[in-house]
Structures are given as structure tokens and as C-alpha cells.
Structure 1
């Protein structure tokens, strides 16, 4: 298992000081970040707060950023930043 820190970035950065151990590589880390983002979006929506502009910067044990997950990806995966980067150039029109 590897230790990862999920720092939340939203203009008032919230560093993860404890981290969590995750097995399964970056794909599993990304899945957990998306799950967390969905929960935070739902909780915030219940009280009328928009958190869709937030993102997680995920750091490894050496505190190097290894992954960035935007909250928007949790609700619109087909329009995610990573999907845009891997786009084949097809506009869908």
C-alpha cells in the first residue's frame, strides 16, 4: 500500500495532513478522489453551496503531486479535463 495526501484546492487550500493508504495504483486513487468529490458536491448542494470549481491535488509520500482531480469530473466525466487531453479531435457534431 502507498500513502497519498488529498489536498483540496479552492482558493482556500485545505492540505491533507494525515493521508490515506491506498492499494491499486493511481487508477484506484483517482476513483477514491471522484467518490470523495461526489460526496462533497452532494453535501454542499444540500446547504446551497457550489463546490464544483474545487479540485484535489493528490500527493505521494514524498509530497510530489501525482494526480489532479477536478470536482467537475465527478459529475461530467465525458467533459473532464483528462478526457479533453486525450481527445481524438472529434467534436461530437
Structure 2
């Protein structure tokens, strides 16, 4: 019985992480993030996989990146500035950034 519960819980977590991934990508597309960022190639801004790699292991990455996307920024990835995105809700920003950080 214990094994069944553990297996069911693991399956539920995998399903939820898959849904979060799909939601994050859909929100990135909806909010035009994919116009400047590719998943595995630089367009105007860095590839999302490069962002995930740079911030891997950084426990504060989620909050840092949400703030950066909201406010915009310049200089971390080159001279082309990223415009601010105040129109994107905090919940959507968190979902998008969480998805980006899962990419490998």
C-alpha cells in the first residue's frame, strides 16, 4: 500500500510539472517573449536554455528573473536592452520563469 501511495504521488508530481512546463511555454508565446528568445537559440535575447544554465543552482534565481523580466534590464547578456513587461501578471511571470529554469 505504501508503495502504491508513493508511486501515485510521484506520478501526480510529474504530471503537474509537465502542466507547468506547457503553461510556461504557452504564456511565453502569448506574451511575445518568444519574439526575442528562442528555447535553444539566441534571437535578440539569450536562449532560454542558456538562461537556465547560467542560473542553475542559484536559489534566488526565480525572484531575480521575475524582477528582471518585469522591470527590464541591460548588460547581463549584451548591450541590447530587454524592455520592461509590466503588463504581465506576477502569476504569469512566475510560471514563465519557473518553466525557463527547468530547461536543460
TM superposition score normalised by structure 2: 0.26
Structure with greater Cα Rg = 2
Higher helix share goes to which structure?
2
